[in-house]
Amino acid sequence: MLIENFYENVDMLHVNMMPRRNYYIPFESAEAALTASRRSQSARFLDLNGQWQFSYYASILDVLDWTLEDLIATHKDSIAVPSTWQNSGYDQLNYTNVRYAIPFDPPFVPTDNPVGLYTRAFSVEEADLGLDFHLNFEGVDSAFYVWVNGQWVGYSQVSHSISEFDVTPYLQAGENQLSVLVLKWSDGTYFEDQDKFRTSGIFRDVYLLKRPKQHLFHYLVQQELTDDFSKASLDLDFLVMDPDVTVSAYKLYSPDGQLLEEGQDWSALTVENVALWTAETPELYTLVFQVGGEWFRERVGFRRFEFIENVLHLNGRPIKLYGVNQHDSRPRTGATVTIEEQIEDLRLMKEHHVNAIRTAHYPKAPEFYELCDQYGFYVMSEADVEEHGVVELYGRGWNANYNKLADDPRYIEVIKDRVAASIIPNQNFASIFMWSMGNEAGFGVTFEEGLKYAYKLDPIRPRHYEAFHYADPERDNDTTYLSCYSRMYPTLEETEELYLKHPEKPFVLCEYSHAMGNGPGDLRAYYELMQQYPTFMGGFVWEWCDHAIVLAEDENGKAQFGYGGDDGSRFNDGNFCVDGLVSPDRVPHQGLKEFQAIHRPIVIKAVDPEKGTVTLENKLFFAATGTRFKAKLELQENGKVVAEYALVLPDIPAKQTAELELPFTFNTAVLTHLNLHVALAENQSLLPAGTFVSSEQVLVFDHALVLPEVERAVNTADWQVEEFADRLEISKGNLVWTFDKTSGGFSDWSVDDQSQLESPMTWTVWRAPTDNDRRVRQAWQDAGFYQPLTKFYSCDWEQNGEDFVLHTHVGLTPIYREKVLDVQATWTLTAAGQIKVSSHMTRNPLHPFLPRVGLQLGLKKDLSQATYLGQGPWEAYQDKQEASYFGQFESPVADFYEHHIRPQESGSHVGAHQLILQNQVGQGLHIQSQEGFSFNASYYSLETLTETKHDHELVEADYLVLLLDAKQAGIGSNSCGPELAENYKLLDESFHLELTFNML
Ligand code: GAL
Ligand code: MG
């Protein structure tokens, strides 16, 4: 047999693997340790990434009877290391969420277990043969066997972990051969049921470290801060070290590169007036030190995280976590991500005021934590554990099955191993403030032991584990080592009742505001709760990025994205993987703009119009505003900006306010808003000067909006009416209106025989379901909200002075159900050629809440430029309009619709009072309303958006689709989170829509 079966044996997790140690790269000199910007610059680091020879076998049975030599001789292909098979054209991509991707039969895996054999050569110099060679794998999914020069070295598993092997005895001078057999499934698979595309292979870096025989192996950086945080002491704990090495010199450099101290006496290593590390001020000292023939480098961030009376503190001050959950996921390479890509993500996070990351649901490669130390993020680092699939089994049913593996003592070592793999390498990183034991794996003895072990490994950092929530209440559960309570997606009420009113432990939302598709719509509500309760640490939005695969590229090289099911897999979870704040290619969704707006660092605390002042508050926890920001103030009257002022910001210390004099006086008699736009005044690590920081608006004087009537020439011709069975034709000289009884609105409106409507006005209650509507969609469809029939009851008309007035009564009636909406509308056609509609719509209270209520119509496609007075410039819904504010905005119609991978309602603007759609020569439609409305303009019909499965399959309508809503339901985050809050549902008895249409 080629190999011994360790992969179906939970008592053999690693064979011949070196003990785990803290992550470091040894250097050859102090100089190299200090200046290397990449680890590959160390002369002791041998990069083994690159093209490897490769053979894929659909089943392990195809290799077991062969010798390694024979298998190597038949290699025909090659593959990049790191990469995944499935993103390199091998095997089958599969996206599953909760369900296991294999039959549940632990520790066994399918007989036909796909494997990949990798081989590469590397050379060793004769002169180096006296050194030790340690081979490192930073991530291999799911289990692997290693050979050097045909001799078997060892076995390891735990996909997201570092496995190190001492290959010294197998090496020879000159060329050497390294082979790795990777198995797709192993007993580890039962503990790695994370919601993601399931991929395989050597997906993280591989390298060799050259080390002197006698060396330091494992050390801990210990730091201590005095109670006033002015002074730090630093010590190294040499945990594993060969007896014959001596610790010699160290040098300590300040964050700005000054040599502070050098010497040999560790006990004297102290720093006065220490610059503290925070996410806002990621000050890192550099310690280089020599042990035996090697130099080491540690970047040290001096900081102290602690809970004081259940409140999370950093360096003595309470902080909040405004975080995201982040998977390693790229559309072309899957779980393989480059440093540059990681930096791109961190840059986007900084830009949008994210200060914390949960490494969902496994540890990152060590360089990621270095980046978090450097750029400043609070990291909850999670162990590579998820056993969610147990809830899909027969037995007690769904969540009652949760503890099946978690409370089985046979798996204690499995969990402890995974906890160790997550903690030991990463223990010296300043950014990690808490360890998470994993995700969705239930609770029981394995986690009690796991938590205890985590405490043993690191008594300083607290421990998180959300699935304690599923502990069996009948069992005597030990929470001694559980540092906080945590939940995902609870309602606000539950959160408050269970965890905040009478806090037993600190509380965190490890997941909230599920950002799938158009959403999330509830960020503000959770934010307010975080502010209200000091023991509420904050939370992590689910999730950072959409996961997707590239199905094809269009002629411009633009990717066409797909999701579960598009991969050809039999069991998959569709587009549930497309739930990020950024698209797969990192275009921020509008949900991220919402996050950015809510967590802005500078807010207007008050405006005092009498004194003529505005008070700004610095919401940062540590950093003074200093010279970081520049601001612009706009005075907005009646919705229009009338004056702009560059604002010189004083230096506002963290959490403090400053009162500024306004450079103008107000006109108290008009609707007045003050707008504040903030940008970076200077480069700030990842972000260049000029980067947008925030926009904010304050209502200063609340008067009625004054909407001027559009000046129109009065048409003096007589009114003419002709009634037909299906329509009514009304004309006045060159103006002709056709009221269509079947649609309940106007089907045409022509001026000088030029028809203006391309598709009739109809009443509608439908919106193309968003992902957050997925749980109500069926109820909406069952109630007949999609494509109901319009019933025409009556219409009568009168001439009223100069105007022609039409009273219509129609209803929206679904097949086999009672009426959804009753619409009584008064249409006034004026001598100036306008249509004014005033409608009273009554909802059937027996039906579910409505998605929207309003009119839809089709216009000429060339009305491609929009100007509107309403909530903008971003998409705005009742519960998703934090990034937007009231004002006048311009936009190409094409920019309104946000292209989500699965088409859905998107791009509406609530709070509108005026909308002008024009073509190149200024012709078009002008709509206004004193009462206000919500509009949506795009080139996609409701049917198209409802029924198309992928963005690239969208087919434009022949006309511009305009929706004018009296009201639209909120967005929420019910795709995974709580039901849409009652106040954002359309449960009103009746609705009113009032609009004036003018042709331009
Ligand atoms: C949570 C889980 C995440 C993800 C999310 C849904 O239950 O922890 O991994 O599956 O739901 O997108
Ligand atoms: Mg899960």
Q: What are the pLDDT digits (tens) for 770-821?
A: 999 999 999 999 999 999 999 999 999 999 999 999 999 999 999 999 999 9
Ligand 1 pocket: which of 390, 440, 772 to mutate (most atoms within 8 A of CB): 440
Cα(758)–Cα(735) distance, rounded to whole angstroms? Answer: 16
User: Among all chains, which residue has been given the structure tokens 């692997």?
Assistant: 144
Reported as half-sphere exposure (CB side, CA atoms, 13 A), residue 51 has a value of 5
Question: What value does the mean pLDDT take over residues 71-92?
Answer: 97
Q: Which ligand is nearest to the CA of 441?
A: 2
Q: Is 542's C-beta closer than 6 angstroms to any atom of ligand 1? A: yes
The string of pLDDT tens digits covering residues 947-972 is 999 999 999 999 999 999 999 999 99
Q: Which ligand is nearest to the CA of 510?
A: 1
377 alpha carbon to ligand 2 midpoint, in Å?
Answer: 25
pLDDT confidence of residue 766:
98
Tokens standing for 99?
Answer: 């369900």
The alpha-helical segments, DSSP class H, found in 314-429 are 339-351, 366-375, 412-423
pLDDT at 569 exceeding the cut of 90: no
pLDDT confidence of residue 918:
98
State the DSSP code for 781. Answer: H
Cα(298)–Cα(222) distance, rounded to whole angstroms? Answer: 11
State the DSSP code for 768. Answer: P
Q: Is 102's C-beta closer than 6 angstroms to any atom of ligand 1? A: no
What is the share, in percent, of the chain residues with pLDDT greater than 90?
Answer: 96
The string of pLDDT tens digits covering residues 576-630 is 999 999 999 999 999 999 999 999 999 999 999 999 999 999 999 999 999 999 9
440, 449, 466, 905: the active-site residue: 440
Neighbours of 989 (CB within 10 A): 9
Nearest to 542 by CA among 371, 769, 327, 774: 327
Q: Identity (one letter) of the amino acid at 574? A: G
880 alpha carbon to ligand 1 midpoint, in Å?
Answer: 22
Ligand 1 pocket: which of 511, 578, 775 to mutate (most atoms within 8 A of CB): 511
Q: Report helix angle 523-532 to 590-598, nearest 10.
A: 20
**Averaged pLDDT score across all residues of the chain:** 97
Band (pLDDT 50/70/90 cuts) for residue 711 is confident
Neighbours of 584 (CB within 10 A): 22
Ligand 1 atom at shortest distance from the alpha carbon of 576: 12
Question: What value does the mean pLDDT take over residues 70-88?
Answer: 97
The residue whose CA has the least distance to atom 11 of ligand 1 is 976
Cα(29)–Cα(293) distance, rounded to whole angstroms? Answer: 9
pLDDT confidence of residue 395:
77
pLDDT confidence of residue 974:
96
Q: Is 545's C-beta closer than 6 angstroms to any atom of ligand 1? A: no
Q: Which ligand is nearest to the CA of 578?
A: 1
The residue whose CA has the least distance to atom 3 of ligand 1 is 195
712 beta partners: none
201 beta partners: 141
- Residue 511 annotated in active site: yes
CA distances from 191 to 237, 403, 715, 980 (A): 32, 13, 77, 33
Please give the model's pTM, rounded to 2 decimal places.
Answer: 0.97
Ligand 1 atom at shortest distance from the alpha carbon of 514: 12
Distance of CA 840 to the CA centre of its chain: 41
The alpha-helical segments, DSSP class H, found in 706-837 are 777-782
Cα(752)–Cα(835) distance, rounded to whole angstroms? Answer: 17
Cα(964)–Cα(838) distance, rounded to whole angstroms? Answer: 13
Neighbours of 530 (CB within 10 A): 21
Q: Identity (one letter) of the amino acid at 734? A: N
Contacts (Cβ under 8 Å, ≥6 apart) of 344: 586
pLDDT at 37 exceeding the cut of 80: yes
Band (pLDDT 50/70/90 cuts) for residue 567 is confident
409 alpha carbon to ligand 2 midpoint, in Å?
Answer: 22
- SS3 of 585-620: the string is CCCECHHHHHHHHHCCCEEEEEEECCCCEEEEEECC
Q: Is 124's C-beta closer than 6 angstroms to any atom of ligand 1? A: no
Cα(367)–Cα(817) distance, rounded to whole angstroms? Answer: 60
574 alpha carbon to ligand 1 midpoint, in Å?
Answer: 14
pLDDT at 163 exceeding the cut of 90: yes
398 alpha carbon to ligand 2 midpoint, in Å?
Answer: 13
Q: Is 771's C-beta closer than 6 angstroms to any atom of ligand 1? A: no
Dihedral of CA 463/466/472/474: which sign?
Answer: positive
Question: What value does the mean pLDDT take over residues 753-770?
Answer: 96
User: Among all chains, which residue has been given the structure tokens 């950002």?
Assistant: 515
pLDDT at 311 exceeding the cut of 90: yes
The string of pLDDT tens digits covering residues 537-548 is 999 999 999 999
Cα(60)–Cα(75) distance, rounded to whole angstroms? Answer: 16
The string of pLDDT tens digits covering residues 914-940 is 999 999 999 999 999 999 999 999 999
pLDDT at 396 exceeding the cut of 80: no
Q: Identity (one letter) of the amino acid at 436? A: S
469 alpha carbon to ligand 1 midpoint, in Å?
Answer: 15
511, 543, 634, 696: the active-site residue: 511
Nearest to 72 by CA among 154, 21, 148, 183: 148
The string of pLDDT tens digits covering residues 444-484 is 999 999 999 999 999 999 999 999 999 999 999 999 999 99
396 alpha carbon to ligand 1 midpoint, in Å?
Answer: 22
pLDDT confidence of residue 398:
75
Nearest to 34 by CA among 297, 366, 300: 297
Length of the chain in residues, anyone? 1000
- Residue 440 annotated in active site: yes
Q: Which ligand is nearest to the CA of 489?
A: 1
Distance of CA 60 to the CA centre of its chain: 37
Cα(333)–Cα(313) distance, rounded to whole angstroms? Answer: 38
CB neighbour class for 573 (10 Å; exposed up to 12, middle 13-18, buried from 19): middle
Q: Which range, of 116-120, 749-753, 898-902, averages the lowest pLDDT?
A: 749-753
Tokens standing for 373?
Answer: 């130390």
Cα(464)–Cα(487) distance, rounded to whole angstroms? Answer: 10
The string of pLDDT tens digits covering residues 329-369 is 999 999 999 999 999 999 999 999 999 999 999 999 999 99
pLDDT confidence of residue 713:
84
Tokens standing for 966?
Answer: 């009296």
State the DSSP code for 788. Answer: P
Question: What value does the mean pLDDT take over residues 68-95?
Answer: 97
pLDDT confidence of residue 249:
87
47 beta partners: 207
Nearest to 390 by CA among 193, 195, 573: 193
Cα(619)–Cα(599) distance, rounded to whole angstroms? Answer: 8
pLDDT confidence of residue 955:
98
